[in-house]
Amino acid sequence: MRLDSRRDGAAASRLRLWDLPTRLFHWTLVVLVAIAFVSGFKGGNGMDIHGKAGIGIAGLLAFRLVWGFAGSTYARFASFVRGPAVIRTYLRGEWHGVGHNPLGALSVLALLGLLAFQVGTGLFGNDDIAFNGPLQALAGKDTSDLLTGLHRKSLWLLLALVGLHVAAIGYYARAKKENLVRPMITGWTDAPPEGARPASGGGVLAFLFAVAVGLLAACAASGAFLPPPPPPAASSPDW
């Protein structure tokens, strides 16, 4: 059985572009990243939820990594990561493919990479008050402080990239009259180019495997596999 398979007899003018797992990944990611930003800037008692959102993002990123190889056609990295020649073709307005365009693919990779960096630095970070990232003990205080500094800088780059991402989608909607958001919600794109092939792959087993890797990554990020801290040294009473 295929997850989200294309219905036979569906209008040829429509194409199943984004499979359900890719869409669920995207919108869950948006919610968790928004929570991470709000709770991070709030600080204090917001840090607990900040850490949890970050661990969830770690799981999502691991899921997407696997889905980039095991997912359906247009979710696979091989279908949208292209070399400079294809990017030049796109810039000349001569690219007529389906899915992430060759330039958009770079921003997808940059977003995923920067999110991984943000999560990675956060897991080893500390807020100098009451919150330590779940893997902070592995880093030691100096390295943890260094990574926390990077975490606080890279978040601005991430914010800029998200802004660019949303602006690019707005540009497509207004200037090119192309609604990219609808396919990310419904999965379907209207009027695909001539010869676009139906998506295949991304079956239930592949999905379960990707979910298992995502869950494992979230557990690892939460520190669940770290040895328990040593018990506090028995102190002798003062008398």
Q: Is 235 left (phi over 0), alpha (psi -120 to 50) or beta?
A: beta
Sole binder of ligand HEM in the list 184, 211, 216, 219 (CB under 6 A):
184
Sole binder of ligand HEM in the list 4, 15, 21, 29 (CB under 6 A):
29
Which residue lies nearer to ligand HEM by CB, 2 or 168? 168
Which 3-state string (H, E, C) describes the chain? Answer: CECCCCCCCCCCCEEECCCHHHHHHHHHHHHHHHHHHHHHHHCHHHHHHHHHHHHHHHHHHHHHHHHHHHCEHHHCHHHHCCCHHHHHHHHCCCCCCCCCCHHHHHHHHHHHHHHHHHHHHHHCCECCCCCECCCHHHHCHHHHHHHHHHHHHHHHHHHHHHHHHHHHHHHHHHCCCCCCHHHHHHCEEECCCCCCCCCCECEHHHHHHHHHHHHHHHHHHCCCCCCCCCCCCCCCCCC
Sole binder of ligand HEM in the list 126, 139, 210, 214 (CB under 6 A):
126
* Residues 53 to 82 in contact with ligand HEM, rule: CB under 6 A: 54, 57, 64
**Does residue 169 touch ligand HEM according to CB under 6 A?**
yes
Which residue lies nearer to ligand HEM by CB, 36 or 206? 36
**Does residue 102 touch ligand HEM according to CB under 6 A?**
no
Which residue lies nearer to ligand HEM by CB, 166 or 204? 166
- Which range in 5-13, 100-108, 202-210, 211-219 contacts ligand HEM by CB under 6 A? 100-108
Write down the least CB distance from residue 30 to ligand HEM, Å: 5
CB 111 within 8 A of CB 162: yes
Which residue lies nearer to ligand HEM by CB, 133 or 214? 133
**Does residue 223 touch ligand HEM according to CB under 6 A?**
no
Number of residues that bind ligand HEM (CB under 6 A): 45
The site for ligand HEM (CB under 6 A) is made up of 22, 25-26, 29-30, 33-34, 36-37, 40-41, 43, 50-51, 54, 57, 64, 100, 104, 108, 111-112, 115, 118-119, 122-123, 125-127, 131, 133-134, 148, 151-152, 155, 158, 162, 165-166, 169, 180-181, 184
